[in-house]
Structure 1
Amino acid sequence: MDTIRVRGTVADGFEKVRDEFAAAVTAEPGLGAQLAVRLAGRQVVDLWAGPGVTGQSLFALYSSGKGAAYLVVALLVQDGVLDLDRAVAAHWPEFAAAGKGDLTLRDLLAHRGGLIGVEGGFSAVELADDRLLAQRLAAQRPYWRPGSGYGYHAFVIGALIGEVVRRVTGRSIQEIYAERVRAPYGLDFYLGLPEALETRYVPVQPARGGGQGAPAPDSLTGIAFNLNATPPTDLVDFANTRAVRALGPTSSGSVGNARGLATLYAAAISEMDGRPPLLAPSTLAEFTKPHATGTDLVTGEPDHFLLGFEAQGVRYPLLGAGAFGHSGAVGAQSFADPGSGIAYSYTRNRFAIGGGGGAQENHRLIAAVLHAIS
């Protein structure tokens, strides 16, 4: 049965990865999922399963787009275009309102700014458009004293850093990503899905049996996930809206597949198609240092972030301390582990039971990958 359900290929020695993937999709009848892994740039796993799903199918991958946005920022820092320790307001004067004048780009990337949302929440139109989000956020007072703690800026971090990028370069993160990363490597991962590719989009589904109870709308978690809006944001409806996929808000509106994300992270750390790694060793060292220790005020997760990227070595202790990447709300997980040379991406078209990024099967899948290379 597994050979019928699971399609694709694995390199010699990675057969147990296929077995774990088969177990994961068998445990959730009707689930659409993909798994792609590269080792030192070479593809070693390319699997998919589920009704109507192929290796080219495109899923709503929510916060996975943050990883692409952080990669763009890292490239601009590497180029000397952006200074991590310069005040945001030096580029974006309106941002200085409500006591935010001293916040730096580094503060934003480390989720230390306290600017997780706005009073009364965002409209659906605003959530789909990074420019509109930035306009609302410029006047907002932080929800905690900047630097006194950190918390996941779920819907807004891309708009915040994106406005800095726009003010400095005159271009959006989406445009720079497409030019410098997506197009050169032929990535099937989009911050703004062209209408011509809509036929490959597989709509996202709610969690089987429903999700967990929602946090209080006026809690930090509720505000960060726009539950203080009227109506509160429904993540399934949000991603299944064409306007969101077309505009590609960097925090929440990415669309793509496992192949695309695995190749993105492989390109960041490995030679690919004769090209050197996108990130120089010094840049990689800067962006993979822990920048936020303690407990995330929004998610409750310990030691959640490096610089922008999630600290994947904390979430998955089998990985190296410098493993960096980002999850997506459906349970997707993607990262690079410079120590082992792995670039990994697991994607799915249904919210995982229990909600949140990084569905539980990632632990078993990652362990199987690491066992294959040991």
Structure 2
Amino acid sequence: MTVQGTVAAGFEAVRDELAAFLAGAEHAPGAQLVVHRGGERVVDLWSDGVSGESLLGVFSSTKGAAYLVTALLVQDGVLDLDRTVASYWPEFAAEGKGGVTLRELLAHRAGVVGLDAGFSQEELADDRAIAALLAGQRPFWQPGRFFGYHGYVIGALVGEVVFRATGRTLQEWYEERIRAPYGLDLWLGLPESEEPRFLSTLPMLPTPEQRAEIKAAAYTPYSLTGIAYNEHAPGSVALEDFPNSRTVRANGQASVGGIGSARGLSGMYAAAVFGLDGRDPFLKPDTAAEFARIHSEGKDLVSGTPKAFGLGFHSFATHFSSIAADAFGHSGASGSLAFADPRQGFTYAYTRRRYAYPGGAAPENERLLWAVVRSLG
């Protein structure tokens, strides 16, 4: 497997680390890796099976775009983190959810991780449909008391607040305020004209040992995890196939339906905190710090594992020892990872075409990140 692309002087070790990983990989992942130092792109690499221009499903890395739109609207005074969701969206008050604030919703504390009856694939591709159905859903825990990852639905829930407050969708705000001004190759609603660049997600190919681990860790479709990932719904489609639907790509579902490249993801975070291509950053430092600050930490009720969340964003400092405490971003089930590290002055994005075992930020990110941080000096 070969590595193509460019690195700035001093970042050769990042290219070497990616090449070393690929040399030992059993199956070609189709990887892209991009790093910005401030607003300058200093790493732009890709491997066999993709190009730097390829567009991939980025799964939950999509959520970063949704949270940046929310942060912008909070910064503008359009949204108030401590107002209740129901004050914007009255129907959400049903089944004891009337006291849930926007802050709690973003911190994955609302308890509406899925629908009792499950979603059809058509509904799951449509944020407004998801929101309409979840408005009447009883929460799966006492809102505010615990937290659990709202993996498939958080973008729809936050997006409905945005729509009720402004009369415009989250996707429209993203296009106008973030994607188009900075020319980013990350789309919440992929135009037909960009379809030729899209490469479908390939399934993961676990080793026999990993297959045994998957079987041992299995959960039932009616568990909290199963409901959160819609596995109890008749005809449910595997998560790895979700972005392979043209309907999903066209709608730009704001939780897991984004389509883009590592250039687009790293560029989005660079635009947020450092500025890009001569344009000022669109987030103020205080806004970025508030959204990065940990709001939920401990055992995630959905995954059953320790996690930490800021306002929507993952807190990666609790997972990757190379990242500063105030870094913020999101990972995706295919193995993607994208974030900003304002303290150390860089943004990072890694994407994969082949779905990574076991899902979430692929394991190779750890070694790639250390190479980046060491190259920064």
> Taking structure 1 as the reference length, what is the TM-score of the superposition?
0.96
State the Cα RMSD in Å: 1.2
CA contact (8 A) 1:67 1:309 kept: yes
Deviates more, 1:137-146 or 1:289-298: 289-298
Q: Give the equivalent residue in structure 2 for 1:280.
A: 284
CA distance in 2, matches of 1:194, 1:88: 31
CA contact (8 A) 1:188 1:260 kept: yes
CA contact (8 A) 2:320 2:366 kept: yes
Q: Give the equivalent residue in structure 1 for 2:275.
A: 271
3-state DSSP of counterpart to 2:63: helix
Q: Give the equivalent residue in structure 1 for 2:227.
A: 223
CA contact (8 A) 2:28 2:354 kept: no
Q: Give the equivalent residue in structure 1 for 2:353.
A: 349
Deviates more, 1:155-164 or 1:235-244: 235-244
Q: Give the equivalent residue in structure 1 for 2:199.
A: 202
Across the two proteins, how many residue pairs are aligned to each other? 369
Deviation digits for residues 190-246 of structure 1 (CA, Å, limit 9, x no counterpart): 011111111111110111137634421111111111111112331233221110111
Deviation digits for residues 281-335 of structure 1 (CA, Å, limit 9, x no counterpart): 2211211111002111112342420111000111112211111000011010000
3-state DSSP of counterpart to 2:241: helix
> Taking structure 2 as the reference length, what is the TM-score of the superposition?
0.96
Deviation digits for residues 123-171 of structure 1 (CA, Å, limit 9, x no counterpart): 1001100000001100000000011110000000000000000000111
Matched AA of 2:286:
S
Match of 1:33 among 24, 31, 34: 31
Superposition pairs of residues 238-253 of structure 1, within 5 angstroms? 238-253=242-257
CA contact (8 A) 1:87 1:103 kept: yes
Deviation digits for residues 263-293 of structure 1 (CA, Å, limit 9, x no counterpart): 0011111032222221112211211111002
Matched AA of 1:202:
L
Matched AA of 1:61:
V
3-state DSSP of counterpart to 2:226: helix
Q: Which runs of 4+ in 1 moved over 4 A?
A: none
CA contact (8 A) 2:88 2:164 kept: yes
CA distance in 1, matches of 2:224, 2:28: 34
Q: 1:38 offset after TM fit, Å?
A: 0.2
Correspondence 1:340 to 2:337? no
Matched AA of 2:117:
G
CA distance in 2, matches of 1:43, 1:36: 7
CA distance in 1, matches of 2:193, 2:275: 31
CA contact (8 A) 1:62 1:253 kept: yes
Q: Give the equivalent residue in structure 2 for 1:295.
A: 299
Q: Give the equivalent residue in structure 2 for 1:259.
A: 263
Matched AA of 2:344:
S
CA contact (8 A) 1:25 1:50 kept: no
Match of 1:138 among 135, 139, 142: 135
Unaligned stretches of 5+ residues in structure 1: none
Matched AA of 1:67:
G
Q: 1:81 to 1:265 in 2, by over 3 A?
A: same
Matched AA of 2:369:
I
